[in-house]
Amino acid sequence: MARMRLLCCTFLLLAALPAALCAGVIVVDPAGGGDFDNIPEAMFHGTADDTVLVLPGFYEVETGISYPWPVLLDADSPVLVSQEGAALTLIFGDGLLTAFEVPDGTFGARAFIAGFQFRLLRTPLDWGYPVGGTVHFTDNIVEACEIGLDVRLGAGLVAGNVIEGPGVCGIQAGHFEGVIEDNEIHGFFDGIMGTGEYTVIQRNHIHDNEISGVAGFDNCVAIDNIVENNGWYGFSISFDAHLTGNVIRGNGTGVDFWGGPHNGFLHGNDIYDNVDFAVHSYRGEIIPDPPDFDATMNWWGTTDGAAIAAEIWDCHDSAWAGVCFVVEPWCASPGCDPTPVQATSWGAIKATYR
């Protein structure tokens, strides 16, 4: 079968990829009109200088074939992109298999995957424990996979995806060094599980997960996300997380802080209408002189000091909390009106309430 070489800039989904990746194009057509009729064979014959362009159709993840799934990725793997996008290009399985895998110990693996619908897989991508490597997982639809995406210990970009359960977690981040942005994640036990100081989570809609929206116990930077209607927690996170501009509403508890150094802050967020507490702290040890945690300039759904006090669980409520939240000045309206409400001291408010 003759190999087809095309200019990659003619394809919309390739336009956003680095120019160095756009050398030659290998076409996959399930009807037999391309270079190959299946994805694993095309990926096997491609190199880092190639892009595998997949035409619309249904691609079954199965074993016992000449070029079996999962497709093993390494430093020489080509870019994989669909011609017509996720609505018309389906990769599906039986709920047990993985589509793409980076074996443990692989050095500098590449996973550039854009424009597919993944359904009924264990996970579309199992990142394993590589040595270095880059992930670009963009503009995909993931449905009914046990793990929506595994990028633990990787680096790169996860953007523009719709990741829908049921399953264990939407994104298994596990100290992912990169950006997770503009995704919709819902219907899992946890939306995003595992984060680290180099993980930036921004502009995502993380909602209706059974346990948590973002569950890390480590830190991260979370900016301008909508985290709502998650069963237990919106965020369950370390004290050194930086949370800014998020809408956190309708969860069991808005933000639940656990251990770690107290280097984080909570600024400019709308935290309201959560079932139990807006913010809860449990350090797990009694600290004689608990430190302050900066939670100033947030909108708490009210400007009434006593009502805000009722939404905060900290050192004023239990010696096990480990921190004292400092919340004033607070915002006067959603979106964090910069004009603060003048109130009596926070300690006085808590004392009056209790």
Q: pLDDT value at position 23?
A: 66
Quick check: is 325 in a domain? no
Q: pLDDT value at position 216?
A: 79
| pTM of the predicted protein model | 0.88
Q: pLDDT value at position 261?
A: 67
What pLDDT band is residue 325 in, cutting at 50, 70 and 90?
very high
What would the mean pLDDT of 47-65 be, rounded to a whole number?
Answer: 95
Quick check: is 311 in a domain? no
Which CATH number covers residue 55?
A: 2.160.20
Q: Is the pLDDT of residue 346 over 80?
A: no
Query: Mean of the per-residue pLDDT values for the chain?
Result: 88
Quick check: is 295 in a domain? no
- Angstrom distance (rounded) from CA 157 to CA 138: 8
- Give residue-wise pLDDT tens across range 12-41: 444 444 433 446 999 999 999 999 999 999
Q: pLDDT value at position 284?
A: 77
Q: Which helix (H) or strand (E) holds 348?
A: helix 346-353
Distance set, CA 275 to CA 25, 80, 216, 237, 296 (Å)? 52, 43, 21, 18, 21
Quick check: is 154 in a domain? yes
Quick check: is 351 in a domain? no
How far, in whole angstroms, is CA 353 from its chain's centroid? 38
- Give residue-wise pLDDT tens across range 107-127: 999 999 999 999 999 999 999
What pLDDT band is residue 338 in, cutting at 50, 70 and 90?
low
Q: pLDDT value at position 243?
A: 95
Find the DSSP H helices in 11-114: 39-45
Quick check: is 323 in a domain? no
Q: What is the CA radius of gyration of the chain?
A: 23
Domain, as residue range, for 142 = 8-289
- Give residue-wise pLDDT tens across range 230-289: 999 999 998 889 999 999 999 999 999 987 767 789 999 999 999 999 999 988 777 788
What pLDDT band is residue 161 in, cutting at 50, 70 and 90?
very high
Q: Is the pLDDT of residue 333 over 50?
A: yes
Quick check: is 162 in a domain? yes
Quick check: is 334 in a domain? no
Q: pLDDT value at position 352?
A: 35
Q: Is the pLDDT of residue 77 over 60?
A: yes
DSSP string, 239-260: TT-EEES-EEESSSEEEEE-SS
Q: pLDDT value at position 347?
A: 39
- Angstrom distance (rounded) from CA 209 to CA 168: 10
Q: pLDDT value at position 21?
A: 42
Query: Percentage of the chain with pLDDT > 70?
Result: 88
- Angstrom distance (rounded) from CA 127 to CA 149: 9
Q: Is the pLDDT of residue 351 over 80?
A: no
If one counts the domains in the chain, the total is 1
Q: pLDDT value at position 337?
A: 59
Q: pLDDT value at position 289?
A: 86
What would the mean pLDDT of 120-135 be, rounded to a whole number?
Answer: 90
